[in-house]
Structures are given as structure tokens and as C-alpha cells.
A = this chain, B = another copy of it.
Amino acid sequence: MPWRITKSYNQLKISFIGAGNVSWHLAQTLENAGHNVAEVFSRNVKNAEELTKYLYDAKVQRDLNFADSQAKVFFLCVTDDSMLEVAKQLVLPEDSMLIHTSGSKSLAELDELLRLNSDVTIKTGVFYPLQTFTKNYKVNFAEIPICIESEEEDVEKVLINLGQDISDITYLINSEERRVLHVAAVFACNFTNHLWAVAQEIVEDNELEFDLLKPLINETFRKAMSAENIFKAQTGPARRGDNKIINQHLLFLKQQPDYQQIYRVLSEGILKKK
């Protein structure tokens, strides 16, 4: 990969703990922005080896003792569940910055974890790219909001610079606000995905093609995303208060009580907003 210097005035040495989807994209993007990845650690060493192939001169780190690392910033990109275990074994150089990239962990929780074993001063922060990542699908970081938090002025400054190096949208978001975004994202993304999946199953179980619904889904999506108040873009039987149709649909779903309950709860929600 060719080395190019972009808008970053201060090249930072950065190490990654974890080599999953977030590390995969973030490490390469930060190097493309002019920074340098020093080490990559992964519980599964093959993942670390794979990622370093795409980096300039990063080394595979085989344990969690980074005492001799030249890196200043350590990105902790592991699942929330493994953070505790990692923190127990992690050794970082004095005055380094440990940054997690999770939407659901608060900064205080990270500090708590560090207090478990650390006898050196480590500053903490959050660098949360508000996007879902897939390893082999290219993402454009410029369009991804980066949510930054730290209680240390110098860490915040470093993270803002890193954020601005790779994205056009960098926000200071505290842990409480990050939780709000995460709850909202569950509604707007996880739950909508489930509803599309249920719709696909209903259609395909009846030997129809899901493609038939796609123009309608596209248009609904387009309208909602351009609406100032999305409740006002609502259509359909519940919005019209059409109980006859609602009851027909509930009857249709009688073999699938789970789907029937989703139908009932969401129709009630829409009816109440009328």
C-alpha cells in the first residue's frame, strides 16, 4: 500500500487491540490519512496477521503486554463482553491513551476496568464511528459520524484531530448521549431489519417474490428519510384507524403468534400517534 501524507500534521503511532470489523476498517483508514499503526493484537492471531498485511509496517502483537510499545494511542476494538478480560491482562506504557470504539460502553465503565490492574497513568476516551462494518465491504469514512468523548483535554484534542482526518462529521458526544443514539439505532436499524425479515418470510412462505415489495419499501424509506416529522409520513390501516383490515391481518397471522404480537403492538403504537 503506498504511503501518502495527507492533512495530518502530527503522525501518530497507534496500536489496535482486536482485529475485528472496526479495527479492519479503522486501522487502514487511519494509515491512509497519514498515521502509522505500530501493533495489532487479536485473541485469534490469524486475524491480526491478516490485518497487518494491509498495513505499512505494523507488527503482530502476541500478548497484551504493550509496555515497550512506541504507540501513543491504543484503540480497544473488542466486544463489550471481552473488555473485562482484556483489561485484566492489559499493560500499557505510562501516559498512553486507551480509546474504546463501542456505542454502548460508557467512559466511566472503561475507567472502572482500568482501575482493576493498572499501576501507570492511562488516559481514556471514546472514538465511536456510528456505522455498521462488514470486513470485505468498503466503507467511506468521510460520511460516517465520529462520536468523541474524553475528560482529558489532550485526549479530546487528539481524538478530534483523528476524527477530522478521516471523517467530515465529528461530534463531541458524552456517554449519556451515546446511549440515546444507541437506543435509537436499535429501533431505527435492528428492529426495522427484523420487520423486513418477517415480511420476506411471509411473502416467500406464500410462494411470492420479496422483490415485489421492494419498490414500495424503497419509496417508504425515501419519504421517511426526507420527512421533518416521520410520524406524519405514516400510512396504512393503523394510521387510518381501519380496524376491519387490522383484524383481518391478525387473523391471517394466527399461526404465528409472535408476528401477531408484533402486529398488535406496532398497530397500537401507530393508532396512539394519530
A265 to B185, CA, bound (A): 16
Contact segment of A9-17, A29-37, A192-200: A192-200
* Closest B residue, CB atoms, query A239: B190
The reply to whether B212 and A252 form a contact with Cβ atoms under 8 Å apart is no
Chain B residues near A258 (CB-CB < 8 A): 268-269, 272
Chain A: interface residue count, which band? 35 or more
A268 to chain B, nearest CB (A): 8
Contacts of A259 in B (CB 8 A): 187, 269
The residue that A214 contacts in the complex, of B182, B225, B249, B262, with Cβ under 8 A, is B225
Hey, which chain B residues are within 8 Å of A5, CB to CB? none
B248 touches A197 (CB 8 A): no
Tell me the smallest distance from the CB of A56 to a CB of chain B, in Å: 28
The verdict on A266 contacting chain B, using a C-beta distance below 8 Å, is yes
A270 shortest CB reach to chain B, Å: 5
Scoring A195, A200, A217, A270 by chain B CB atoms within 10 A of each residue's CB, the highest score goes to A195
Could you say which residues of chain B place their CB within 8 Å of the CB of A235? Answer: 132, 189-190, 193
Q: Which chain B positions have C-beta within 8 A of A47? A: none
**Nearest-CB distance from A161 to chain B (Å)?**
20
Whether, in the assembled complex, A160 has its beta carbon less than 8 Å from a beta carbon of chain B, the answer is no
Please determine whether A189 and B236 come into contact, CB atoms closer than 8 angstroms: yes
Contact A263 B186 (CB under 8 A): yes
- How far apart are the CA atoms of A216 and B132 in the complex, in Å? 6
Q: A residues 207-240 with Cβ under 8 Å of B?
A: 208, 212-221, 223-225, 229-231, 233-240
Whether A234 contacts B197 in the complex (CB less than 8 A), given A220-B132, A220-B189, comes out as yes
Instruction: Please tell me how many copies of the chain the complex holds.
Output: 2
Candidates B145, B215, B266; contact of A145 at CB < 8 Å: B215
Which residues of B are found within 8 Å of A171, using beta-carbon distances? 212
B206 touches A187 (CB 8 A): no
Most B Cβ at <10 Å: residue of A191, A212, A214, A248: A191
- Chain B CB within 8 A of A273 CB: yes
Which residues does chain B contribute within 8 Å of A263, judged by CB atoms? Answer: 186-187, 191
A29 → chain B closest CB, angstroms: 15
Task: Give the Cβ gap from A163 to chain B, nearest Cβ, in Å.
Answer: 13
Judge whether A144 is part of the interface by a CB distance below 8 angstroms. Answer: yes
**Is the CB of A45 closer than 8 A to any CB of chain B?**
no
- A180-B252, A186-B237, A189-B235 known; 9 new pairs, CB 8 Å cut-off, are A132-B235, A183-B202, A187-B202, A189-B216, A192-B196, A193-B220, A193-B230, A217-B225, A262-B265
